[in-house]
Structure 1
C-alpha cells in the first residue's frame, strides 16, 4: 500500500487499547492494524497547516509567517494565562480567540512519567491526555474560560511540573500506588484565593491504555535528519510511533511535513 500527503497529528479513539489514525491530507490510516508491519517513510516536502504554502515548516506545523501572525499559533495557545479575549482585547484575531478561549476549560493532573498539571478545553477531554501519553489523568478544576484555567495552572506549576518529559513518558514506568486523587486534595491549598470556587473533586482518576510496550532503549529521530526511514512498527503512545530498535518519531512534531508512506 502506498500513501501520500501532509502529516497532521494522529486522530484517536479512546478504547482498550486506544485506536490511532494517521492523518495524511485528511485520509485516516488505522495505525493499530499496521503494528508488526514494515513501514517506509520518505519526506518529500512541506505544506503549512494554515496557509498551505510549501515554505519550510517553522514550528507547530506553521510556516514562519503564519507562526508569527496566525491566531492559531498565538502565545495563549502555550500560555493560557495570557488570554485577553474575556476582556474583549485581541491578540491577533479577537473573533477566533473568543471562539477558542471563551468556552469551558479543565485544569487537570496527569501522570506522564511524572505528575504534571495542565489545561485543556473541556471539549478536548480525553484527547489532550492521550496526545500527551498520560497513563493516568484527573480533572481538578473547571473554569468558564481559558484565562481562569491559566491562572490556576500558573499557581500550581510552582509546585508541580507543567511539561511532559517525552523520554520518561515513553519509558512507561509508573508507581502502582500512584493516587492522583490524593495529589488533588493536597494541592487544593495552592489554588489562588480568587479561584478556589473552580476546584472540583467529583471526578475519578482515568486510566488510559496504549498499544505499546516499553523497548530496551529509546532513540527519537526527525525527518529533517533522517528523510528516508524504514522500520517495523512496534507500538504507539502519545503522538509517538515506536519502531524496532527503539526508534521513535513524534508525529505531532512533524505536522505540515509531506511524506510518502509505503506499507
Structure 2
C-alpha cells in the first residue's frame, strides 16, 4: 500500500484531468459518459472527467440494485451537478431488459456458472447502454477500473465494465484511488463503503468474492513485482499471495490482446 505522505494528490489530479482533456480534444469528441454505481471508482472517475470542463454525463443503470447503492449514486451525482455545471445525469432502468433476456435464454444445471453468466450479462447490458449514449452525444466512455482490478486480479467483466474508450484511473492502486477520491471531495458515504461490483443483487463485497481485501491484493502485487514466490510466505500472507497469483493467471485473457490466428504467407 502506498504511503499517503508520498502521494501527490493535487499533481496527480491535474495530470489526469489534462490527460483526459488532451485525449478528448485530439479525438475531436465533445465529452464523457461514465457509469455511476455508487462506488468510489466511478465517483472519482466522473469527478475527474467533470473537472475538464467538458460535458460529463453520469449514468445510473440499476438492475435489481440495492437501495444503498442507489442512494450513494444519487448523492454523488447531486453533489457533482452542484459543483460542475457541465455535469448532467441520466437514469436507464435496465431491470426489465435484464429480465426479458433472462427469460429468453436457456438456464443451466450448473448454478454457479449460471449465476456468474447472469452477473456478467448485467455488466454487458450496461456497457451497451453507455456506448449508445456516447454515440448519440459524441462522447467517450470513461472506464472506472483501477490498477489492481485491471492488471492485478482481472476483477471486471470482459466486454462489460472492461469495455471502455479510455481508462483514467487504471494506473492507480485502490489505496491511491481512496486518497485521490478524498482529495476531490467524493462523498464520505462512498469513501467508507465496502467495495462491491453489485452484479449479484445482494450485499456481497469484492472481498467476499475474491477472498482478500484490496490492501492485501496490493501487497501481493508488490511482492510478485519484486520477484517473491510462495516459498517466501506462510499463513495468511501465503493464502493472499496464492489468491492473487491464481486470479492473475486465470484472467490473463482479459489483460492481453485478443489472440489472432496468423496465416502463413505460403497459405494465402
TM range (shorter): under 0.3
TM-score (norm 1): 0.26
- Could you say which structure has the higher helix fraction? 2
Q: Which gives a bigger RCO, structure 1 or 2 (Cα 8 Å, sep 6+)?
A: 1
TM-score (norm 2): 0.25
